[in-house]
Amino acid sequence: MWMPRGFADQVRDQADIVRIISDYVTLKKRGANYVALCPFHREKTPSFHVHPVKQIFKCFGCGQGGDVFSFVMRMEGCDFPEAVRLVAEKSGIPMPMPSKGPEYDQARQRRQWREQLLRINAWARDFFHQQLQTAQGQKALQYWHRRGVSSELIEQMGLGYAPSSWDALSTFLRRRGVPEEQLIRSGLVVLRSDGRGYYDRFRGRVMVPITDSQGRVVAFGGRILDEDASERAPKYVNSPDTAVYTKGHHLFGLSYAREAIRQAGYAILVEGYFDFLIPFQAGIKHVVASLGTALTEAQATLLRRYTRKVVVNFDPDPAGRAAALRSLQMLVQQGFDVRVLTLPRGEDPDSFIRRSGRAAYEQLVERAPTYLDFVIAQATEAVDLNEPGAQVRALNEILPYVVLIPNRIERAASGDRVASRLMLNPQLVQEEMRRLMRSPRPSGSHRTGSDRQEPVAEEAVASRRLVTQAEMLLLHILLNYPSVAARLKGELQARHDALAMTVTYPLFEEILNRLERGEPLTYAALAPAFERDQMLLDVLERALIAEGEHDEERVYREAQGCLASLQQRQLERDLRKVQCEIERAQQRHDVASYNQLLLRKLELSNRLAQIRSRPMIEVDA
Ligand SMILES: [Zn+2]
């Protein structure tokens, strides 16, 4: 879709998020916000908030949040340009057209060809589907039934049959008025090697239409019918890349599953056509297939529009195992909450459900181990941890996966879990993780939030503190009261070390830099920097949308209270450190250090007493 630079920002500025969202849910005014029952999770009391001035939404129940485009993308399951187009349309903002000229003509031609190709594909699907009613198509119909696919599902998915003929489809399409040149570009026919004429690509195959997230047919997969199999024919044939299809950019079944995924709150990711068809038919509707063991980044990004939780149920055969592991890693790096389902006896979802039924499958899905537990199990399988060196070998196998987890808190907690499972000292495991994260990544891995981390924030990993109320309130004040933020400048600089030990430090840093440069603190400006870190993005959304004081003087005192409380925490921590060092100096009979440390302790205690004596203003440390 052609769109001039800056158009999305213009639409975001002009659109009214309250109006757009009220097309989907019933909003009620409450304070400065509007509230509603959340459309993204089931609830009885509203926790879904929309802020008309800041133009963001946030659900305090399920955590979904963002700007008007994120809302529309999630509701409509569309991509960003499509969301911009929809919001522009709903807001009466005309889509700009490139001025006449070669660029304009090319853009128009591309759009027209895509539309025509989608029409051709829809005709082809209808043709293949109708072939199931012909005499030749009976064996295909029997094949579908033999594989456990019902007539209803055949109908719903538009499954079909490509007859054993060199020109059945092309003749059909030509009668529909499709010119030769378009037939060739559609990928449905193949040019003869001598360049004279063409023939149908799919022959003697059962046919599966592949749809995009909106349900439009973009490609086909064809599986050979055993009866027709000749030795040279490949088992599966797929459409080539076209103007509407790029291999590895779609998830099979997504248009059928998206609503169920939203309701369930997670997706089950499987491999093949039948791993989708059979569970779906059995009533497990929140399932999509990657059509290949190696999930692509494009597929993960696509799935992320609908959910951040996924249960991966790939075939356990050893051939695909390495690719499956890479897919899992990629999902973890993209911030997914990943569980791994391995079915007993090496079965796939298709065979398992046909043998054991839906309820048994659902039970296994519910009990599927987290990615971390899966990795630990793999590394400790058939290993006696009491054997010398076994613990370290297992640790070396597991940690490279753990350090991929983008969220600091989760990563630290995972390290502790690994330590406890391997019966190792947690301190040692965390140290080893830090060492691994400093060393260069193997090629092919991706940058994550952790790459950009400051060494100070790394300390926060070890101390694993959660976001405190004081941090939250201070962020809220900095984001919402520019004049108070300006007054606080000196105090913020003086307490920089206290801020640097918070887990939300990257947010403070970004906000302070922007204040310094006089740049805006809107959601649109801040969010892109934290896209890969769900925790920080979540804190940002909450801090922006929270309701606060109106009296500026009070807000200023609140902020001072927050800073004091953060500094108190820092001093308490320093004091604990000094106390440890004092004990060690005592053990070493190191009198010089001992005396020095005592002085340091006294100084810290005095400063702490000062802070504790000042009145705290409604700040919960
Ligand atoms: Zn919600």
Inform me whether the pLDDT recorded for 463 exceeds 50: no
Query: Given this model, what pLDDT does residue 1 score?
Result: 65
- From ligand 1's centre to the CA of 37, what distance in Å? 8
Q: Is beta strand 205-211 parallel, antiparallel or unpaired with respect to 160-162?
A: antiparallel
Q: What is the pLDDT of residues 483-510, one digit of tens each?
A: 899 899 888 988 888 888 888 888 999 9
Q: Which of 11-20, 153-162, 241-250, 496-505 tops mean pLDDT?
A: 153-162
Pair 166, 197: CB distance under 8 Å: no
Q: What pLDDT band is residue 460 in, cutting at 50, 70 and 90?
A: very low
- From ligand 1's centre to the CA of 333, what distance in Å? 24
- From ligand 1's centre to the CA of 338, what distance in Å? 20
Q: Hey, which CATH number is domain 254-368, 3.40.1360.10, 3.60.20.10, 3.30.1240.10, 3.20.20.450? A: 3.40.1360.10
- From ligand 1's centre to the CA of 550, what distance in Å? 28
The three-class DSSP label of residue 58 is strand
Q: What is the pLDDT of residues 567-598, one digit of tens each?
A: 888 888 888 888 888 988 888 888 888 999 99
- From ligand 1's centre to the CA of 433, what distance in Å? 34
Q: What is the pLDDT of residues 51-66, one digit of tens each?
A: 988 899 999 888 889 9
What is the distance between the alpha carbons of residues 88 and 8, in angstroms, rounded to a whole number?
9
- From ligand 1's centre to the CA of 330, what distance in Å? 26
Q: What is the pLDDT of residues 169-208, one digit of tens each?
A: 999 999 999 999 999 999 999 988 887 889 999 999 999 9
- From ligand 1's centre to the CA of 534, what distance in Å? 15
Q: What pLDDT band is residue 453 in, cutting at 50, 70 and 90?
A: very low
Q: What pLDDT band is residue 455 in, cutting at 50, 70 and 90?
A: very low
Query: Given this model, what pLDDT does residue 304 score?
Result: 85
- From ligand 1's centre to the CA of 27, what distance in Å? 14
Query: Given this model, what pLDDT does residue 99 score?
Result: 67
- From ligand 1's centre to the CA of 40, what distance in Å? 5
Token pair, residue 135, equals 């005499």
The count of other CB atoms within 10 Å of the CB of residue 573 is 16
Concatenating the DSSP letter of every residue in 419-479 gives HHHHT--HHHHHHHHHHHHHSPPPTT----GGGG--HHHHHHHHHTPPPPHHHHHHHHHHH
- From ligand 1's centre to the CA of 329, what distance in Å? 27
Query: Given this model, what pLDDT does residue 457 score?
Result: 32
- From ligand 1's centre to the CA of 11, what distance in Å? 25
- From ligand 1's centre to the CA of 576, what distance in Å? 41
Question: For the chain, how far is it from start to end, CA to CA, in angstroms?
Answer: 50
What dotted CATH number matches 112-238?
3.90.980.10
Inform me whether the pLDDT recorded for 241 exceeds 70: yes
- From ligand 1's centre to the CA of 486, what distance in Å? 34
Query: Given this model, what pLDDT does residue 204 score?
Result: 92
Q: What is the pLDDT of residues 126-157, one digit of tens each?
A: 999 999 999 999 999 999 999 999 999 999 99
Lowest mean pLDDT among 37-46, 341-350, 417-426, 444-453: 444-453
What is the distance between the alpha carbons of residues 22 and 36, in angstroms, rounded to a whole number?
9
Query: Given this model, what pLDDT does residue 44 score?
Result: 84
What is the distance between the alpha carbons of residues 395 and 377, in angstroms, rounded to a whole number?
12
Inform me whether the pLDDT recorded for 67 exceeds 80: yes
What is the distance between the alpha carbons of residues 246 and 263, in angstroms, rounded to a whole number?
28
Query: Given this model, what pLDDT does residue 439 score?
Result: 59
The three-class DSSP label of residue 34 is strand
45, 74, 465, 548 from 556: Cα distances, Å: 33, 37, 25, 12
Across the chain, what does the average pLDDT equal?
85
**What is the mean predicted confidence (pLDDT) over 293-303?**
87
- From ligand 1's centre to the CA of 511, what distance in Å? 27
- From ligand 1's centre to the CA of 364, what distance in Å? 26
Q: How far is CA 229 from the centre of its chain?
A: 41
Pair 269, 315: CB distance under 8 Å: no
Query: Given this model, what pLDDT does residue 131 score?
Result: 97
- From ligand 1's centre to the CA of 51, what distance in Å? 15
- From ligand 1's centre to the CA of 62, what distance in Å? 4
Q: How far is CA 143 from the centre of its chain?
A: 37
**What is the mean predicted confidence (pLDDT) over 393-397?**
84
Query: Given this model, what pLDDT does residue 448 score?
Result: 39
**What is the mean predicted confidence (pLDDT) over 509-525?**
88
Query: Given this model, what pLDDT does residue 458 score?
Result: 34
Pick the more confident residue, 468 or 599.
Answer: 599
- From ligand 1's centre to the CA of 78, what distance in Å? 19
Token pair, residue 153, equals 């599902």
The arrangement of secondary structure in 7-90, i.e. its CATH architecture, is: Alpha-Beta Complex (3.90)
Inform me whether the pLDDT recorded for 619 exceeds 60: no
Q: What is the pLDDT of residues 348-361, one digit of tens each?
A: 999 999 999 999 99
**What is the mean predicted confidence (pLDDT) over 320-330?**
80
Q: What is the pLDDT of residues 246-285, one digit of tens each?
A: 988 999 999 999 889 988 889 999 999 999 999 999 999 9
- From ligand 1's centre to the CA of 64, what distance in Å? 6
- From ligand 1's centre to the CA of 539, what distance in Å? 15
- From ligand 1's centre to the CA of 46, what distance in Å? 9
Inform me whether the pLDDT recorded for 440 exceeds 60: no
Pick the more confident residue, 26 or 187.
Answer: 187
Query: Given this model, what pLDDT does residue 361 score?
Result: 96
- From ligand 1's centre to the CA of 41, what distance in Å? 5
- From ligand 1's centre to the CA of 60, what distance in Å? 7
- From ligand 1's centre to the CA of 309, what distance in Å? 14
